[in-house]
């Protein structure tokens, strides 16, 4: 399999000392990439590509928010009080309680989205490409930044792909539900969105009953599972729900929103996966069919994150066999799968 990555120095320009979503997380990944891996230089998204997903007014507002933040942001400069952020604090670098910007952030976000588009273009040309980009994107809605995300990279990439193919599937294994990706494609049958995530966690969306609307009814598949879930829970959901749904949908392209905050050492989530488990998830998707595949970096903030990225590349290179189920999934996971089978008519 022809494999590559797209990444570069431009992503260091969106940074905030002390924040979990900082450039250091990407630096540690780049230091561990496989030797001889083809690496493409990042490219910016066109405004046309961005506005397929985001409202032009939101993009103009976001750019303005970034440009006016002339001070380099430091976490200890912001004090959350009374349930809201005061206007002068927002101007200093935050556009919501979790999401910072600096003067370079808009440009960097366009490079993240453009690199995601490039990754799907490579995938459709027969080259599996991993967009090692930041800031992440799956929480960003059409008109709203949140959860460290400014522009929805996976959504921009999927929308670009839909100009030349009929159907795109997005598999999102980040510990937090991709509310932005879901909302953007909630009314269409041209995108199958499957998310497995912590139950009752940020952003408090992604319920089983959220299945799409209109022509999109049935094309959103949410598997909320308990905190402390292991690879046994994940594999059960993939084997029983995601892979059958993917094969039934028969997409022209698969995008993985790869969030490694599911690792047991991640500071902002509570799942119990280890780095090799991420490769196993990759192999489950890879083995589902001969679909063009692109991957987008989402969350992941713990010390073992680079090891998980290495495991993904091992799976893409065929070094990881289809995992044998280890252990039993938890009761909540079993109940979730039973409900999903009924709702989505999966036998």
pLDDT, position 100: 85
Q: Annotated active-site positions, please?
A: 139
pLDDT, position 153: 99
Q: Report the candidate in 12, 2, 1, 5 with the shortest Cα–Cα distance to residue 40.
A: 5
pLDDT, position 201: 94
With contact defined as beta carbons under 8 Å apart, do 125 and 294 qualify? no
pLDDT, position 323: 67
CA distances to 108, 205, 303, 335, 343 from 149, in Å: 12, 16, 21, 32, 31
Query: 208: exposed, middle or buried (C-beta count within 10 Å: 0-12, 13-18, 19+)?
Result: middle
Query: How far apart are the C-alpha atoms of 331 and 86, rounded to whole Å?
Result: 44
pLDDT, position 167: 99
pLDDT, position 68: 64
pLDDT, position 22: 79
CATH number of 2-344: 3.40.800.20
pLDDT, position 78: 34
pLDDT, position 74: 39
pLDDT, position 15: 77
CB atoms within 10 A of CB 11: 24
pLDDT along the chain (347 residues), means of 10: 93 82 88 94 98 96 77 37 35 75 90 99 98 97 95 99 99 98 99 98 97 98 98 97 98 98 96 97 96 98 96 93 78 97 96
Phi then psi for 44, rounded to 5 degrees? -80, 150
pLDDT, position 69: 54
pLDDT tens for each residue of 13-22: 887 777 888 7
pLDDT, position 85: 35
Query: How far apart are the C-alpha atoms of 179 and 182, rounded to whole Å?
Result: 5
Query: What are the residue ranges spanned by the domains of the chain?
Result: 2-344
């Amino acid at each position: 399999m022809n494999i590559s990555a797209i990444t570069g120095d431009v992503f260091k320009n969106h940074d905030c000392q002390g924040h979990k979503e900082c450039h250091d997380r990407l630096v540690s990944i780049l230091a561990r990439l496989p030797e001889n891996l083809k690496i493409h230089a990042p490219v910016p998204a066109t405004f046309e590509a961005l506005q397929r997903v985001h409202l032009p007014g939101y993009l103009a507002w976001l750019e303005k928010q970034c440009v006016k933040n002339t001070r380099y942001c430091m976490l200890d400069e912001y004090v959350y009080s009374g349930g809201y952020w005061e206007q002068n604090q927002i101007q200093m670098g935050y556009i919501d309680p979790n999401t910072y910007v600096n003067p370079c952030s808009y440009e960097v976000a366009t490079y993240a989205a453009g690199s995601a588009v490039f990754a799907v273009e490579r995938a459709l040309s027969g080259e599996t490409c991993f967009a090692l980009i930041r800031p992440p994107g799956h929480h960003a809605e059409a008109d709203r930044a949140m959860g460290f995300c400014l522009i929805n990279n996976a959504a921009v990439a999927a929308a670009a792909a839909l100009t030349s193919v009929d159907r795109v599937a997005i598999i999102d294994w980040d510990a937090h539900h991709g509310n932005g990706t879901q909302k953007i494609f909630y009314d269409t049958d041209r995108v199958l969105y499957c998310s497995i995530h912590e139950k009752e966690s940020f952003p408090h969306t992604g319920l089983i009953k959220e299945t799409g609307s209109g022509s999109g009814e049935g094309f959103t598949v949410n598997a909320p599972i308990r905190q402390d879930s292991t690879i046994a829970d994940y594999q059960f959901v993939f084997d029983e729900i995601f892979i059958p749904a993917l094969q039934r949908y028969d997409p022209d392209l698969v995008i993985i929103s790869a969030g490694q905050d599911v690792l047991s050492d991640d500071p902002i989530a509570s799942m119990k996966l280890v780095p090799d488990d991420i490769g196993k998830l990759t192999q489950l998707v890879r083995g589902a069919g001969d679909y063009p595949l692109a991957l987008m970096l989402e969350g992941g903030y713990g010390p073992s994150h680079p090891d998980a990225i290495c495991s993904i590349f091992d799976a893409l290179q065929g070094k990881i066999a289809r995992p044998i189920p280890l252990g039993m999934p938890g009761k909540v996971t079993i109940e979730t799968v039973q409900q999903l089978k009924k709702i989505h008519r999966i036998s």
